[in-house]
Each structure stands twice: as structure tokens, then as C-alpha cells.
A and B are shown apart, each in its own frame.
Chain A
Amino acid sequence: MNALAANARVVRALGMRSIRQTFRRPQLLAPILVFPTLLLAIQTGGAGGAIELPGFPQVQSFLQFMLAGAMMQSLMLAGNSGGIALAVDIEMGFTDRLFSSPIPRFAIVLGRLAGTAALGLFASLWFLAIGLAFGATIEAGVAGALLAMFLVTSCALAVGGIGAAIALRTGSASVVQGLFPLVLVVLFLSSAFFPQELMIEPAKTIAQYNPLSFVVEGIREPMISGIHASDTLYALLAILGIVVLGLVLSDRALRHRLRVG
């Protein structure tokens, strides 16, 4: 077995552990599925009339508009939960088991991110299923659904990198958990739950430059209108930026952790 295949096997094994860990610890799974689903239900039920507002994008239903926001919330919290789980591993010494094994140490981060990405994929399927079950249509069809799933999965990986970096730097689950409200603030300051056109200043300007808005629009457009190359490209660039940031920060945090023990 060559080195690349061996490392891929390690990343897959650690990713599988990460997924099992999430499904066996309800407090990690709840933020990923339960909270976004409840928020989706409440918003769709309570603010469905918003689609009649002047300037609201042309959509089939408010649910169709909100699906991208729910997926975004889910993947952000998956990244946060991944960070919490990694910090718990550090606190209980499990990472010592990994660090004392003959594997590239960054495989430990990649394994965690693989698990977070898989949870992102699962979340995208979950919300697509909910949307379809409650009558929402996906305008770009199967290709649009696949694109949305790809963007959600890759953005989960990207956000997971930042969660992992914070976990590695602090080694404290409570610190990572403390970022939970911040995740929601950043999300609300994007176009995840409301169209940018209807926001007021300064939220409108912040949302305009918030990278998450680009990702949300990249996920949303295939659902409400069709696949647009520019939206997809901006979403991919935003995700790439978050990936690079997450990996650089994780690498630095990992080196710091190994240096200080």
C-alpha cells in the first residue's frame, strides 16, 4: 500500500469515528439537525407571507427560499460541533493516542474535517428531503440538488477547519461551545434567512460582503431559479477562501499544540 492510500485509509477511519461520535452524542447532533429544522419550521410557518413583500426574490414558496438558510445553519453548527468534539478529544487525552501513532499529524485534522463534511452532506440530504416532502421544488432539478449538496458539503469542511483550529489552539470544549452564539450572529448577518435587498443598513452592507452570503446564494439559486455560473463561482471562491483560512489556522494551531505539549 503506498503512503497516499495508507493516509487516506487513516483519514477515512478517523472520519468514520467522527460521524459515529456525533450520532452517539445527542448534544453534538442536535445543533446540526434539530435546531435548524425547528427554526425552519417556525420561520416558514410564521413568516411565510414575507414572499409577498416588494423586492423579495421570485420564489415558489417561503420554504423553498429558506432551505438554503437551514442548510447553511446546519453546516455552520456541524463545523462548531466538530470543533467541540476535537476539543473533547484533547481534554480527555484521546489526541495523545493519535499523536503517538505513526501517522501524519495533519491527518488527525483531515479525519475530523472528513467527518464534518460527511455530516454536511447528510444535512443537505435531510433538508432537501424535508423541502421535497413539504412541496418545495428544486428549479434546477437533479443537477441543482447535486450542486447544492456539493456546496453544503464543501462549506461544512471549510467551516470545520476553523472549528478545528480553535479547538487545537484552546484545547477547551467550553471555549468552542461558547462560539455557538457567534456562529448564529455571523449567519444572521448574511442573506441566509432574509434577502439582502430587504435588509437595512448596516446589516445590508455587512451581508453584501459576508462570504457566507455568497455560499448561501450559490446553494439557493439552483433551488429558486436555476444554476447560474456567476453565483456558483462566487460560492466556490468564498468556500475556497474559508478552506484556506481554516487549514492555515489549523496547521498553525496544531504546530503550537505539539510544541507546548
Chain B
Amino acid sequence: MAAIEVVGLERAFGDVLAVQGVDLAVDEGEIYGFLGPNGAGKTTTVRMLTTLLLPTGGRATVAGHDVVAAAREVRRSIGVALQEAALDPLMTGRELIRLQATLQGLPTAEGRRRADDLLERVDLAAAADRRVGTYSGGMQRRLDLAAALVHEPRVLFLDEPTTGLDPVSRKTIWQEVRELNEDGTTVFLTTQYLEEADQLADNVGIIDSGRIVAEGTPEALKADIGNPHIQLQLAEGSIAEAEEICARIGRLLPPKDGKRVLVEVERGAADIPRVVRALDEAGIAVESLELVQPTLDDVFVAKTGYRLEEDEERAEEEAVEA
């Protein structure tokens, strides 16, 4: 049985259709990575699946229950850790998990035991009686995760669980997610980090402008878009000229940073000498060259026409301007 089944799910806010006919299925015990830029519809989809927002079209079931008709049964079956850790800075970590246990209907003694176990598990036992407002970002995310697990949910929703975390905290969360999944928990993970989806997810759905534009295992998605690409950094010479030359050999990909040329080639390593020769004949010196196998980043570009990093930079610039 599918842990999550979504058919034609829609959500409109006034005239804006934030989610436009999303279809997806997540099997029991799977980690599903839901990948997309800011504003793509990830969080809106998660809010509908966790019964926080009513759909305006389509239907969805979670753990076999309809998210509208049987919302309370859905809420009994799921754990939720939302994008902005929904924590009260005035509560202590222990108080928060005990409250969550009460909300989930656990008897007092069991709730206390679960709280102690979970605080130990996420390495917060020593900080359990400190107010949450004194926790670091990583500690808050771990506490949020622990609270979501208090009733041992069948399906766990993690909405961008590592956004804004340092690499060490990020890897700690990844490890937790893997262990949970090994214990049989189905995980629905939204992320804007390609590496996160690549590392964790059994299946990935890419959403852009409210629509699923690609879905499959990371390997299948990469294989689907096919060819590797050559990444060139020039020692001297014009990037524009180098791009013009490379475009005659393969398909130019959108540049990552304006300093490198990326060209998709059909024959992989066999095309490297052609590229180097052509550049050499034009008097363009190459500082470094690398053959890169397709990544989820390339899948994203192929399916949406732009890079996820560009979207993040744009969002950051907008935030700075605001």
C-alpha cells in the first residue's frame, strides 16, 4: 500500500494556483525527496498533506486516510517538522516533547519515558531543561525532529529540515533520517539542496511552478538526461569565445558562476581531446578540465531550464534588497 498517494492535488490562493495538479505516490518505508526552488509549491503541498491547509482540487491520502475526510486519522499517523521549527522559545526542550506526547494522546508515564529517550537520541539530554530560545539552530532542528517522533509516526514529513544549518548539523540530521527510515518510517522530505535529495532519497520528485516536472529514482533521473558534461576553467582567453567553440562540439549548459564553461558531450571522455584541440587552435588556454557525470543539478536544469543555485541567489538578493 502507498504511504502517500496524491492525485491531481491543487491549491489556489485567490487567482494564483500555487499547486497545479500534483500526482505522486510514496511507498511504505521509502524516503521521498521533494525538490524545488523557493515558491515552487513544496511547502504548500506539504501543508495540504499534513492537513494544515485544505486543497482546492484533487485528492490525497496519507497512511491510507483521506487528508480532508479523515484529517484526524491522518494527524494520528504522521509526524511533522516544518520549515521554520515551530518551537516556543520560552519552553524547555523537555517541556516541549512532553507537551507533544500529550497532544498525541500518550499516557503521562509513557510520554515522559519517550521524551527522555528522544532527547537522548538527538543528543539533547544535557540541554533538556534549558529554554529552547537558548538552543543553536541545529539543536532546534533536532528538537523539532524529536518532537515529531514522539508517537512513532508511520509517515514523517520534514519540510526543509536542514535549511540554514552548518554542514556538521546537516549531516547529523541526515544520519537521523537514515536511521528512522531503517526502522521503517516513511519519510517525505522537501529540500532545495540537491545533494540532500541525492544522498537520502529513494525517489525524487522535482516541482517547479506548482507542477511536478520529473519523478523517479535519482539514478534513473540522471540516466534519463543522459550525457556527461565537460567543465572547463580558462587560464586566459574569452569565455564567450570558448562557449562559441564548445557549442560546436556539444550542448552548452547554463554557467554556474560565470567563470567556467559547461558543455554536454555525447561521447564523454572521448570528446575531451576535441574540445582541448579546438580551444588550443583558437589560442584559449585551459587551466583545468573535468568530466562530470550527470547530477541532480543537471536533471534540474534539464527539466526547468535553470539552476537551483541561481534561484537561491536570487532569493538571497531579494531578501537583502527587502
Query: A and B: real partners?
Result: yes
Chain A interface residue number, banded: 20 to 34
8 Å CB interface, A89-126 against B: 89, 92-103
Contact A102 B88 (CB under 8 A): no
Residues on B with C-beta less than 8 A from A94 are 86-88
Instruction: Identify which of B75-83, B222-230, B237-245 touches chain A.
Output: B75-83
Is B163 an interface position by the 8 A CB rule?
no
Contact B86 A97 (CB under 8 A): yes
Q: Which of B54, B88, B147 contacts A259 (CB 8 A)?
A: B54
Residues on B with C-beta less than 8 A from A228 are none
* A-B contacts, CB under 8 A, total: 74
Is B282 an interface position by the 8 A CB rule?
no
Is B185 an interface position by the 8 A CB rule?
no
Q: A92-B84, A93-B82, A100-B80 provided; 10 other pairs, C-beta below 8 A?
A: A13-B102, A17-B88, A94-B88, A96-B52, A96-B86, A97-B147, A100-B50, A102-B76, A102-B103, A103-B103
Contact B91 A261 (CB under 8 A): no
Beta-carbon nearest neighbor of B44 in chain A: A261
Cα distance A136–B82 in the bound complex, in angstroms: 53
Q: Which of A10, A21, A259 contacts B103 (CB 8 A)?
A: A10
Residues on A with C-beta less than 8 A from B73 are 102
8 Å CB interface, A207-261 against B: 258-259, 261
Q: Which of B54, B89, B90, B103 contacts A101 (CB 8 A)?
A: B103
Cα distance A89–B87 in the bound complex, in angstroms: 9
Contact A93 B86 (CB under 8 A): yes
Cα distance A133–B114 in the bound complex, in angstroms: 47
Q: Which of A10, A25, A258, A261 contacts B102 (CB 8 A)?
A: A10
Residues on A with C-beta less than 8 A from B85 are 93
Task: List 17 A–B pairs whose Cβ atoms lie within 8 Å, in order of A's numbering.
Answer: A1-B107, A9-B102, A13-B99, A20-B90, A20-B95, A25-B90, A92-B88, A93-B85, A93-B86, A97-B82, A97-B100, A100-B50, A100-B52, A100-B75, A100-B80, A103-B103, A261-B47
Contact A20 B105 (CB under 8 A): no
Is A6 an interface position by the 8 A CB rule?
yes
Contact A24 B90 (CB under 8 A): yes
What 6 A-B pairs have minimum CB-CB distances, sorted nearest first?
A: A261-B53, A101-B103, A93-B86, A102-B75, A102-B76, A97-B86
Beta-carbon nearest neighbor of B84 in chain A: A93
Cα distance A103–B101 in the bound complex, in angstroms: 12
A247 to chain B, nearest CB (A): 21
Residues of A within 8 A of B (CB): 1, 6, 9-10, 13-14, 17, 20-21, 24-25, 89, 92-103, 258-259, 261
Residues on A with C-beta less than 8 A from B100 are 97, 101
B138 to chain A, nearest CB (A): 18
Contact B104 A101 (CB under 8 A): yes
Is B171 an interface position by the 8 A CB rule?
no
Residues on A with C-beta less than 8 A from B82 are 93, 96-97
Most A-side CB within 10 Å, residue of B47, B51, B78, B90: B90
Contact B51 A100 (CB under 8 A): yes
Beta-carbon nearest neighbor of B51 in chain A: A100
Residues on A with C-beta less than 8 A from B103 are 10, 13, 97-98, 101-103
Cα distance A176–B76 in the bound complex, in angstroms: 33
Cα distance A20–B90 in the bound complex, in angstroms: 8
Residues on B with C-beta less than 8 A from A258 are 54
B84 to chain A, nearest CB (A): 5
Residues on B with C-beta less than 8 A from A89 are 88
Contact B99 A17 (CB under 8 A): yes
Residues on B with C-beta less than 8 A from A9 are 102
Most B-side CB within 10 Å, residue of A25, A89, A95, A258: A258
Cα distance A89–B84 in the bound complex, in angstroms: 12
B64 to chain A, nearest CB (A): 15
Residues on A with C-beta less than 8 A from B72 are 102
Most A-side CB within 10 Å, residue of B53, B88, B104: B88
A21 to chain B, nearest CB (A): 6
Residues on B with C-beta less than 8 A from A24 are 90, 131
Task: Mark B115-129 against chain A: 1 for CB-CB distance below 8 A, else 0.
Answer: 000000000000000
